[in-house]
Structure 1
Amino acid sequence: MNWQHAIKDYQLFLKIERGLSKNTIESYTRDLQKLNLFLNKNEIKVSPTEIDSSIIKQFVYEIAKSVNPRSQARIISGLRSFFDFMVFEDYRKTNPTDLIETPKTGRKLPDTLSEEQIDELISAVDLSHSQGERNRTILETMYSCGLRVGELVTLKISDLFFEEGFIRVLGKGNKERYIPIHNTAKKYITIYINQIRNHIKPKKSFEDTLFLNRRGSGLSRQMVFMIIKDLAVKIDLKKKISPHTLRHSFATHLLKGGADLRAIQQMLGHESITTTEVYVHVDKSFLKDVLEKYHPRK
C-alpha cells in the first residue's frame, strides 16, 4: 500500500465512519502530507505499513525546528489518529507513534474582546454600501450565538426559527444543535434578508444560504476573516483577532454575567465540559460573585 492509497482510504474513513467536516479532514490530511514531504525530501522509501517509530522521531525532530510545541502536538495527534486507523483496518500490527512523546503545551487561554471593543468593532462597519449591512449582521450573529466561522457561512434561511427564538446550527461532525438568538441579531438578520439579500440573485445550490456575496454565492471562511481583520485595523485594535475571537467573547461574557457553564457548553456545541471550562480561566471575577451570592455564610 502506498501513501496516496492509504491517505485516500483514511479520508473516506474520517468522512463516513467518524462524520468529520471537510475542514477537519483537510487538517488531518495536511499532517500526513508533511510526513510524506519529509520522506521524499530525505529519500526515505518506506510505505505507511512499514514505517517505524525511528523515522517518525526523525520527522518530529525536524518539524520541531520550525513549529511551536502546540503545533507539534497537533501534528503528532494527527499522525497517531492515522496509524490507529491503519491498525484498526489490519494494515499493520502496531502504531509507530505510541512511543512518541507529545510536547507539553499548557493550556492556551483564548483571546477575547471587551463588550466595549465588540461595540466599537461593529460600529466601525461602513453601512454606506449593501455589503456593510451584511457585514454588520454577520458580526452580530456570530457574537449573539457564539458561532464558528464554518457554521456561519453554512447557515441557511430555513435554519432560522425566529418565532421560537432559536436558530439551527450544523456543527462539527455534522452534529445539529439549537441556539437561542438575541433580539438584536434577529433584527439585523431580518433587515438584511428583506432589504439586501432580496436584491441578490442566488446561484444554484445557494438559494437557501443566508449570507451571500455580490455574485450570489456563499461566503468563504477567508472572506469572514478579512472582514474582521479589516475592522480591527480600522479601529486600531492592538491585538490579533479572528472570527473565533467573537465566539470566545460570547462565552466569556455569558459566564461573567452569571450563565451556567453547562448551558454555555450546549450553545457552543462542545462535546466535553472540559473544553468549556477554559473560559473559567479567562475571567475569574465572576467566581467571587457566585461565592458571595450562593454560599450560606453571608
Structure 2
Amino acid sequence: MARVKIGVQYTPAPGQGVEETVRAAAEIENMGYCCFAVPDHLTRPHQGLAVAVPDPFVLLARLAADTRTIGLGTMTVLDALRLPVQTLRGAVTLQQISGGRFELGIGAGWQQADLDALGPDVRAARARINSLETTLTVLRQAWPTGPPAHDDPRASLARLLAGGTTRPRVIVAAGTSRMLEVAARFADTVALTVPTRPRLAGKTPTAVSVAAQIAAVRGARPAQMPAPGFHLQIRDLSTNPPNDPDGDWWAVGGSPGQIADALHRRADAGVDYLSVCTEDLHLLEWLASHVLPRCEG
C-alpha cells in the first residue's frame, strides 16, 4: 500500500486539567502515532451546553515541554480569529520550542458558534477566505522559495518574525471548490473535508467525493510546486464494519484486518495522512497494537 501517516486529533474533555492532557499526549507519543493535534473551536457542545475549548497555541506550547518526538499540530486554526502576523508569530514560536515538530493546520472555519463570535464584516464566507489567503501569503513571505520582495514591508516583517526558523508544514482544510483552489496554491498538505452546508445536513466524505477533491487540487496546483499531500479524519471507529465501506470515509470498523484494509483504500486513493479523532486512550492503544502494524510500509 502507499505510505500513510496516522496521528490523533484530541479535544480535551470539559474541565480536563492541562496536566491530564499532557499525560495523554505523552502516552499517545509512546504508542507510536505521528502527531497530536488539537482544535481551535472557541466552544463545543457538551450535554446540551456550550463548553470552552483551550487556545491551541498556548496548549501546544505546554505539551512541547513534555514530549520529544511526536508532531504537535493545530487541526485547525480558525484564521479569522487572529491577525496574519499573530498566526505567523505563534507558528514560529511553537516551531522553535518544539524543536521543529509543529504542524500548522489552518482553515476558514465552519462551526456556527465560532462564526457568531466574529463581526458581520468577517463572518461572511468570502471575507473569511480572503483573510485566509492573506495569512497564507504572509506565511509564504516568511519563508520565501525565491528571491524576496525587498520593497514589500509586509514581506520584510514576515521574514524578520520567522528569524531563520525552519518552516512548519502548512495544512489547509478545504471542502468547497474555492477552498480547494486556495489550498492547491498554498498548502503542503490539504485536509479534505465536507463543505459546511452538506456537513450540517449530515453528509460525509465518500470514496468518490475524496477522489474528486484530490483531482481538483492536483489540477489547480501550480506546476512549480511539489505535489501536495492529502489528509483525512477518522471520526468513527467501531467494532462493526460499515455497510458501505466507501460510503463514509470518516468511519472505519470491524476486525483489525478490516480496519487496516479500509485505511489501505484511503492511502491507495492518495490520502497519505490520517487523524483519528478520539480522546479514548484505550481505543488508541488497541489501534496502535493491532492495526497500525498492518499499515506500515
Fold shared, TM-score > 0.5 on shorter chain: no
Task: State the TM-score, normalized to the length of structure 2.
Answer: 0.25
- Higher fraction of helix: 1
**Highest CA radius of gyration, 1 or 2?**
1
Task: State the TM-score, normalized to the length of structure 1.
Answer: 0.25
Between 1 and 2, higher relative CO (CA 8 Å, sep ≥ 6) is seen in 2
